[in-house]
Amino acid sequence: MVRDDEYVTDGSGGTTTRLRSEIDPLEDAIYGNFHRKMRREEKLMLTLERNDVLSEVDTLNHNLQLLQQYDWMRHLPSITRIDDPNDYDELESKKNLTIIEINKILRKYDNWKRRYDKLTNDIRTFNQNPHPNDSYEQDEYSIPVAQLRQRRLMQKRKLLGPIIKLRLNNGHVIIYDPEKPSVSVKEDELCSNQKAISACSPRSTSASKSASKSSNVKKKHQITSSTSSRRKRKDDEYSSAISTPTEYQGYRIQQTQQVDPVDLESMEPKLVQKLNFANDKLHNITLGLDLPLTGYQDFQLYRGWLVKAYDFLNQRMSLREQLDRLIPDSQEYTGP
């Protein structure tokens, strides 16, 4: 703002005071009408330009639909230039090129429309709150450094996610940090770097491990004993229900024998097949022994288990086919 300087002298003539006038010769009200007129003209031109763009987009969509119809050869000369209307190769090539160009222009319009909507939304959001971070930035200069560091850490955790620690059974811990590469460290080293050393001391860790191990052993013993008693009770009920297990629907059946629990991993495949099913001639079927599983077992799947599973399935299917051949169609058989 331009101000005029005035000098005032007191009555004695010895003192001169400089005064500044508050009158602005170029006030904003002088340009207000012209500014409003220019804004109206700019808004009108933007509206006309937007209408032209929308009209052109509608025309392109209509032409694209015409080229995708069965009578596209009749509409193609009105869309692009054709030198020889009787040349089918020219018509086909120019049709494909025209479709490619129309799709390219439509994609460009979609990209512009998406960016325009985003910019309009950003402008509207800024007008509602022109300075959203002024108070926050001023607050950063007044708070302690430790509190500021904690605040920024919380912002990063909210944006990227927390640090994940995956404890393995071999005494290592995998640490996943969104801002750093994943690393694997020993659990003892991790505990030594933490502030609460007493909570991660080897004595407490070994005590907790021994307590968990004893609880697991007790739980395993309970599961094993309950499973064994349940299997024994089921076998007793089965043996009491069948008084003469030598015949079943007119066929001779060899009674199963009780065996001690064995380790399936140490058994040969032939022995496993023999325990699963043993087939004799057509008129004599031997039901195989049940696989003796212990009550509580930990195992891992590998190729040996897959082979045994396929052998078990094949023997089971062959036994079902043999039973279907032996039992007449009039009798109902549910199968093993």
pLDDT digits (tens, 9 = 90+) for 34-43: 999 999 999 9
pLDDT of residue 16: 56
Quick one: pLDDT band at residue 179, thresholds 50, 70, 90? confident
Highest mean pLDDT among 136-140, 193-197, 228-232, 316-320: 316-320
Please name the residues in contact with 3: beta carbons below 8 A apart, sequence gap of 6 or more.
Answer: 20, 21, 22, 23, 24
290: which DSSP letter? P
Mean pLDDT in residue range 96-109:
93
Does the model's pTM come out above 0.95? no
Confidence of residue 229 (pLDDT cuts 50, 70, 90): low
pLDDT value of position 105: 93
pLDDT at 248: 43
Phi, psi values for residue 173, rounded to 5°: -130, 130
The pLDDT tens digits of the residues spanning 153-164 come to 888 878 888 788
- Structure-derived torsion over alpha carbons of residues 50, 52, 58, 60, reported in degrees to the nearest 10: -120
- Residue spans of the domains in the chain: they are 29-124, 145-196, 201-241, 244-326
Of the listed ranges 109-113, 139-143, 275-279, the one predicted with least confidence: 275-279
DSSP 80: S
3-state secondary structure of 13: coil
Mean of pLDDT values over 281-306: 43
Contact at 8 Å (CB) between 24 and 2?
Answer: yes
Given a cut of 60, whether residue 79 has pLDDT beyond it is yes
Average pLDDT, the chain: 69
User: Which residue is associated with the tokens 């629990």?
Assistant: 261
Better-predicted residue by pLDDT, 313 or 335: 313
Residue 262 has pLDDT above 90, yes or no: no
Query: Alpha-carbon distance 220 to 208, whole Å?
Result: 18
Contacts of 168 (CB under 8 A, 6+ apart): 174
Least confident of 98-102, 125-129, 226-230: 226-230
Mean pLDDT of 13-33: 70
pLDDT band at 243 (very low <50, low <70, confident <90, very high): very low
> What's the CA gap between 108 and 105, in Å, rounded?
5
pLDDT of the residue at 226: 52
Q: What is the mean pLDDT of residues 194-215?
A: 49
Q: Which of 174, 202, 167, 175 is nearest to 188 (CA)?
A: 202
- Is it the case that residue 56 has pLDDT exceeding 70? yes
Choice between 12 and 82, residue whose per-residue pLDDT is larger: 82
Q: What is the pLDDT of residue 133?
A: 57
Residues 73 and 66: their CA atoms lie apart, in Å, by 9
The pLDDT of 71-89, averaged and rounded, is 89
Give first-to-last CA distance, the chain, whole Å. Answer: 103
Tell me how crowded residue 271 is: count the other CB atoms within 10 A of its CB.
12
Does the pLDDT value for residue 195 go beyond 80?
Answer: no
Please tell me whether residue 247 adopts helix, strand or coil conformation: strand
Radius of gyration of the chain, Cα coordinates, nearest whole angstrom? 45
Position 168 confidence tier, pLDDT thresholds 50, 70, 90: confident
